[in-house]
Amino acid sequence: MNFPGAFPTLATERLVLREVADRDVEAVFEMESDPVAMRYWSRPPMRDIAEALASVERAKTFFPERVALRWSICLPTDDRMLGHLSLFDFSEQSGRADIGYGLARRHWGQGFMHEALIAVIDYAFGSMGLRRLEADIDPRNHASLRALERLGFAREGLLRERWQVGDEISDSALMGLLAREWRARPLPTRQTPRPGDSDRKGTIGRRARR
């Protein structure tokens, strides 16, 4: 696994994925204080902007401490964060990481997460050399399951009563995607050029939506 030396900013057709920054606090609060957006999250909605401030402060340490990569998903026009996407729980030995993500509610249903996920998965299996990605999804979270299944993640198992958030106990659907499955997808474009890709430069990062 190759953990990057500099934070990897990624660009897609409509989005820029950049490192989390202080200016994201309000947008983090917008998303993470919304009980609908946080319905299937692993902790309750935020109540106070101080929680967003603390969360951003913590997230800023992830890259320098090499524990996670957390991208703020932004529109290039105003740099405002729409949501975020992270790779975390790396296993160096097994070439594996977890993926987690969310968008503020007003940005749902426009294919933004689909586009952001493609860029991050390309990066994870390309430059980082990971072999497997996994995600822990509440089986009732149909939008999230669909977003992953559409990209080829398989539903590998059900972990019963894995979480307790407040009084609510919930199961986890374990979703997994392998690098070799990703490379075998019918659409050839990759975010990260690999040897032999030079003739396809013009299409990098522009994999068509399915």
Ligand X SMILES: CC(C)(COP(=O)(O)OP(=O)(O)OC[C@H]1O[C@@H](n2cnc3c(N)ncnc32)[C@H](O)[C@@H]1OP(=O)(O)O)[C@@H](O)C(=O)NCCC(=O)NCCS
Q: Which chain residues interact with ligand X by CB under 6 A?
A: 37, 40, 83, 100-103, 108-114, 137, 141-144, 146-147, 150
CB of 141 to ligand X, least distance (A): 5
CB of 195 to ligand X, least distance (A): 31
Q: CB-wise, 44 or 129, nearer to ligand X?
A: 44
What's the full length of the chain, in residues?
A: 210
Q: CB-wise, 4 or 109, nearer to ligand X?
A: 109
* Residues β-bridged to residue 170: 163
**H or E segment to which residue 18 belongs:** strand 16-19
Q: Measure the CA angle with vertex 65, ends 62 and 67; round to 5°.
A: 55
Q: CB-wise, 135 or 179, nearer to ligand X?
A: 135
* Residues β-bridged to residue 158: 173
Q: CB-wise, 25 or 116, nearer to ligand X?
A: 116
The C-alpha atoms of residue 56 and residue 79 are separated, in whole angstroms, by 16
- The CA distances from residue 95 to 83, 131, 147, in Å, are 26, 5, 23
Q: CB-wise, 56 or 145, nearer to ligand X?
A: 145
Q: Sign of the C-alpha dihedral, residues 127, 21, 144, 16?
A: negative
